[in-house]
Chains A and B, each alone.
Chain A
Amino acid sequence: MKGAWQIGLLATLLLLVEGTLVPLVGFPELAWPIPSVIFWIMLPFQWGDRLGLLLAIGFGLSLDMLFPPIGLHTFCGLWVWGLRKAWLRMLNPNLPSEWEASFTPTVFQPGEFFIYAFPLTLWHHLWYFGLGRWTLSSAILLFSTLSATYTFLWEWIIFELFLRKRHA
């Protein structure tokens, strides 16, 4: 399966980043990054929905086991995975019917990547921090938005350094 080892490497890298780097760069009162969201955003479309769902759940459970509370990462991550295809079709209504077989988000330009990834990240964070703090207030909405912006910065760095395909 093409790209399997890259996805495995990305998952491992993200788990390491979540455990080591995030506590160092996060601001608990202002914005908390969760760069692992990029895993659900970037899972290859051509692998099919069943395998994709299995990987999405597997990665979520790994995060849950390493960074409790259990269930929260999987729940929020599956939202991202579940919505990304519909979101992409909404952004590109003229995609051909068999687009999943050939399309990959790794070809996105930075602007396209922002339009694709930021709303999904924001959606993830609204669920994550809303459920995590178990309240829905303007403070949580602001914190989620700031965190999504900060997370996107890290996602963009990962995207540019490791994932983006550059054409010659």
Chain B
Amino acid sequence: MRELKWLNLIFRVPLLWVLAQGVSLYLYIISTPAPSETVKRWSTDLSAAAHGLLQWIRRPFTAMAEVEQLQQLNTDLLEALSELSQPQGPADGSIGAWGTFEALQGYQLVPARALYQTLYLRSNYLLLDKGGRDGLYPGLGVISPMGAVGLIAETTATYSMVYSLFHRDVHIALYLPKQGAMGLSSWGGTTFNRLKLEYVPLYIPVEVGEEVWTAPNATLFPKGIRVGKVSQVKTDFTGGFYSIEVQTYTDWHRLGPLYVLRPHSPIVPPTP
């Protein structure tokens, strides 16, 4: 008898009507491009606004950690400047993500805050609190004081979605400055401070501890942004390339302040 009562409750006509309307509308939205795009945009905006609120609540707690990071960065800068001021001092010392500053010529740094970031996914992204109104657009690189973080994939007027280097579909051109060799990054989906550097030919000697930077011919990042250090070199004779593991300077779980690299003149995609 109790089951029948439940069935009667479930099969009430108004309830079924609402259910049928919901299913119909859902089918329409997912099968038609314009509504599905709008719903996606709304959900991104809503998600960004909700996470913005949460971020605002957490702000006092994260502020202290950011202060510590900035103090460390300031220390690094002061150290590097003191070395540069010595006539015989090393000039190739890199400072945080920005290398020798030469890399950033022609770029403007737009400071941004991460409102939300995914953790433990295979397609990791984060939402920034800056968007089209701040002159951002898809394809721009994002860095932290530690190194390269990712690329802007989508923008709304006020928010941007950044695909991380730790995203299965993100591959950027990397560079071993010591050897002048280039390769392509990929992420295996397991560790959030390690990338793979692929397609570096076997005839190039690669050593553990070498710096890995963004490549000189990279279109998305300026050349020479620090990415990490070679932590392991494996030889795959069947493929003719190394399988190099890079320990990134950026830790996805501890990003700190972020900067979007906006070129003074917009990037024009090459014509096919």
Contact = CB atoms under 8 A, between A and B. Distances in A.
Contacts of B24: 60, 64, 71-72, 74-75, 78
A69 B16 CA distance: 22
B179 to A, nearest CB: 54
9 contacts: A50-B16, A53-B13, A53-B17, A69-B31, A70-B28, A71-B27, A72-B28, A78-B24, A134-B38
Interface string B6-37: 00000101001100110111111101101100
B35 to A, nearest CB: 6
B32 A69 contact: yes
Contact of B21 (A68, A70, A75, A134): A75
A13 interface: no
Interface of A: 49-50, 53, 57, 60, 64, 68-72, 74-75, 78-79, 82, 131, 134
Contact of A68 (B11, B29, B31, B35): B31
A23 B35 CA distance: 25
Size class of the B contact interface (CB-based, 8 Å)? 10 to 19
Contact of B26 (A64, A68, A71, A79): A71
Contacts of B29: 71
Contacts of A69: 28, 31-32
Contacts of A71: 23-29, 31
B176 to A, nearest CB: 50
The DSSP consensus for interface residues of chain A is: helix
A74 B23 CA distance: 9
Contacts of B25: 71, 75
Interface string B173-184: 000000000000
A137 to B, nearest CB: 14
A131 B35 CA distance: 8
B241 to A, nearest CB: 47
A59 B26 CA distance: 18
Contacts of B17: 53, 78, 82
Contacts of B38: 134
Contacts of B28: 69-72, 75, 131
Contact of B34 (A49, A57, A134): A134
B13 A49 contact: yes
B18 to A, nearest CB: 9
B39 to A, nearest CB: 11
Contacts of A68: 31
A53 B16 contact: yes
Nearest to A75: B24
Interface in B33-64: 34-35, 38
Given A50-B11, A69-B31, A134-B32, 17 more contacts: A49-B13, A50-B16, A53-B13, A53-B17, A60-B24, A70-B27, A70-B31, A71-B29, A71-B31, A75-B21, A75-B24, A78-B21, A79-B21, A82-B17, A131-B28, A134-B35, A134-B38
A49, A57, A68, A75 pick with most chain B CB within 10 angstroms: A75
Contacts of A64: 24, 27
A70 to B, nearest CB: 5
A71 B24 CA distance: 4
A49 B25 CA distance: 21
Nearest to A79: B21
A82 B13 CA distance: 10
B20 A53 contact: yes
A72 B24 CA distance: 7
B133 to A, nearest CB: 23
Contacts of A78: 17, 20-21, 24
Nearest to A48: B13
A134 B34 CA distance: 7
